């Protein structure tokens, strides 16, 4: 299996099975195998003991365990600057949680946010839930978030819905829509009361064509250019 280039740079989230006896997803396993022999790869685990157990269970090289970086709620403040500096220097970092999706209700959220602010690429190995994945990749605070789903197709109704969302939900928002309505929705957001809030657009998640954008709605609309008719999730900080 030839891995996409997105796994050769930046911060890579590695979702792991919640049930520790289950196998790791194949792409994630290959990414970790390659990183284990790459001197320019940092391996971040939530807890050393748990990370070590799973690493060996998945048949990964024992020698890599010595270089694990523990990244959790107790170590994040101290570890983040060093990790970020090495990412800026061209290294890549692989972030694993003890179980589940890193950066979703997880200290890795701050690291994702720092990477976006520093214009460092962020991606993830395959994960089957686009909503949770987009929230994690956004780097936005999400202790509370509101999933608004698909907005009305009719223009005036959609405008009213955006106004209601802005007035009733100051928390992080998650929107979805049909692929052909991406530019229309971004234009509506850039003219709505939500126009001043940062937005994260995730398109073609889990694919080789995955593209992520973060900024104000108008700026994101300008950046995507002719991009249209792609599956997408929008997260509004």
**Residue range 60-104, pLDDT digits in tens:** 999 999 999 999 999 999 999 999 999 999 999 999 999 999 999
Q: How confident is the model at residue 187 (pLDDT cuts 50, 70, 90)?
A: very high
- Boundaries of domain holding 163: 138-236
Q: What is the pTM of this model?
A: 0.93
What pLDDT score does 221 carry? Answer: 93
pLDDT in tens, 24-33: 999 999 999 9
- E strands present in 21-116: 41-45, 69-70, 92-96
In a domain, 28, yes or no: yes
- Quick one: average pLDDT of 210-218? 96
Is pLDDT above 80 for 165?
yes
pLDDT band at 215 (very low <50, low <70, confident <90, very high): very high
Residue 180, domain CATH: 3.30.950.10
The answer to whether the CB of 32 falls within 8 A of the CB of 94 is yes
**Closest by alpha carbon to 134, among 123, 146, 118?**
123
Is 133 part of any domain?
no
45 within a domain of the structure (yes/no):
yes
198 and 113 in one domain?
no
Per cent of the chain over pLDDT 70 is: 99
170: which 2 tokens? 């100051």
Co-location of 171 and 227 in the same domain: yes
Q: Looking at the predicted structure, is the pLDDT value of residue 226 above 90?
A: no
């Amino acid at each position: 299996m030839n891995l996409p280039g997105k796994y050769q740079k930046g911060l890579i989230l590695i979702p792991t099975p919640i049930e520790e006896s289950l196998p790791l997803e194949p792409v994630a396993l290959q990414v970790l195998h390659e990183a284990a022999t790459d001197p320019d790869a940092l391996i971040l685990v939530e807890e050393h003991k748990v990370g070590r157990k799973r690493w060996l269970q998945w048949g990964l090289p024992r020698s890599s365990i010595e270089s694990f970086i523990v990244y959790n709620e107790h170590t994040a403040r101290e570890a983040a600057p060093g990790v970020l500096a090495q990412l800026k220097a061209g290294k890549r970092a692989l972030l694993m949680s003890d179980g589940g999706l890193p950066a979703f209700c997880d200290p890795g959220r701050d690291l994702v946010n720092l990477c976006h602010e520093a214009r460092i690429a962020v991606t993830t190995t395959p994960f089957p839930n686009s909503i949770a994945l987009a929230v994690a990749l956004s780097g936005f605070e999400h202790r509370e978030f509101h999933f608004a789903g698909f907005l009305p197709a009719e223009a005036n109704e959609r405008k009213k819905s955006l106004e209601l969302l802005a007035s009733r939900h100051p928390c992080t928002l998650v929107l979805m829509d049909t692929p052909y309505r991406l530019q229309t929705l971004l234009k509506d957001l850039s003219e709505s009361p939500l126009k001043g809030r940062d937005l994260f657009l995730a398109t073609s998640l889990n694919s080789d064509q995955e593209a992520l954008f973060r900024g104000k709605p108008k700026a994101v609309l300008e950046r995507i250019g002719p991009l249209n008719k792609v599956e997408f999730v929008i997260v509004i900080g």
